Structure 1
Amino acid sequence: MDNDAFTDDLEGTDHHPVLIACSHGTDNPQGRAVVSHLVGQVRELLPDIEVLETYVDVQYPQVDEVVASVAPGRGVVVVPLLLSGGFHVNVDIASAVRSRVSTGSPTVAASPLGPDPRLASILVDRLDSAGALPGDAVVVAAAGSSDAAAAADVEQVAADVAESWEGPVSIGYAASATPRVAVATDLARSALGGAEHGRVAMATYLLAPGFFSNRLAEAGADIVAEPLGAHPLIAQIIVDRFNEALTQLPAAV
Structure 2
Amino acid sequence: MLLAVAHGSRDAAASATIQLLLRRVRRLRPELNVQCCFLDLNSPPLEEALPQLAHRRPVVVPILLGTGYHLRVDIPAAVAAAGLPPSQVARALGPHRLLAEALADRLAESGATREAPVVLAGAGSSDPTAVADTTRMASLLATHLGRPVTPAHLSAASPTPHEAVAALHSEGHREVAVATYLLAPGFFARRAATTEARWTSAPLAAHEAVARLILHRYDEVRRRACELPRGRRARAVEDAPPKGGSLRNALDHGNGRDASTPQPTPATTRSSRCPQPPNVSPGCALLSGSPRNR
The answer to whether structure 1 residue 168 and structure 2 residue 144 are counterparts is no
Q: Structure 1 residues 167 and 34, CA, compared in 2 at 3 Å: closer, same or farther?
A: same
Give the C-alpha shift of residue 143 in structure 1: 0.1
8 Å CA contact 1:20, 1:76 repeated in 2 = yes
In structure 2, what is the Cα distance between the partners aligned to 1:233 and 1:68? 30
Query: Could you tell me the TM-score, scaled by structure 1's length?
Result: 0.84
Partners of 2:200 and 2:24 lie apart in 1 by 26
Tell me by how many angstroms 1:183 deviates: 1.0
- Match of residue 20 from structure 1: 3
* Equivalent position of 2:19 in the other structure: 36
Question: Which of 168, 175, 179 lines up with 1:199 in the alignment?
Answer: 175
Which residue number in structure 1 is paired with residue 44 of structure 2? 61
State the partner residue of 1:220: 196
The runs of 5 or more residues in structure 2 that have no matched partner are 227-273, 275-294
Q: TM-score, normalised by structure 2?
A: 0.72
Task: Give the conservation status (yes or no) of the 8 Å contact 2:176–2:199.
Answer: yes
Letter in 2 for 1:241: R
Q: Distance in 1 between matches of 2:131 and 2:36?
A: 26
Map 1:65-104 to 2 at 5 A.
65-72=48-55, 74-101=56-83
Equivalent-residue separation in structure 2 for 1:157 and 1:106 (angstroms) = 25
Q: Over residues 153-212 of structure 1, what are the superposed CA-to-partner deviations in whole Å (9 max), with x where a residue is unaligned?
A: 111211111113244310111101111121111112212x2xxx5211100000111111
CA 41–134 in structure 1, closer or farther in 2 if over 3 Å, else same: closer
Contact map agreement 2:2 2:32 (CA 8 A) in 1: yes
Q: State the partner residue of 1:113.
A: 93
* Contact 1:64 1:93 (8 Å CA) reproduced: no
Preserved CA contact (<8 Å) 1:137 1:198: no
For structure 1, the residue ranges without an aligned partner over 5 or more in a row are 1-17
- Please give the alpha-carbon distance, in whole angstroms, between the structure 1 residues aligned to 2:28 and 2:146: 34
Q: Percent identity?
A: 38
Tell me, yes or no, if the aligned pair for 2:21 and 2:207 is still in contact at 8 Å: yes
Structure 1 CA distance for aligned equivalents of residues 121 and 156 of structure 2? 13
User: Hey, which bits of structure 1, 4+ residues long, moved more than 6 A?
Assistant: none
Count of aligned pairs between the two proteins: 228
Displacement of 1:249: 4.3
Matches of 1:186 and 1:166 in 2, distance apart?
22
Over the aligned positions, Cα root-mean-square deviation in angstroms equals: 2.1
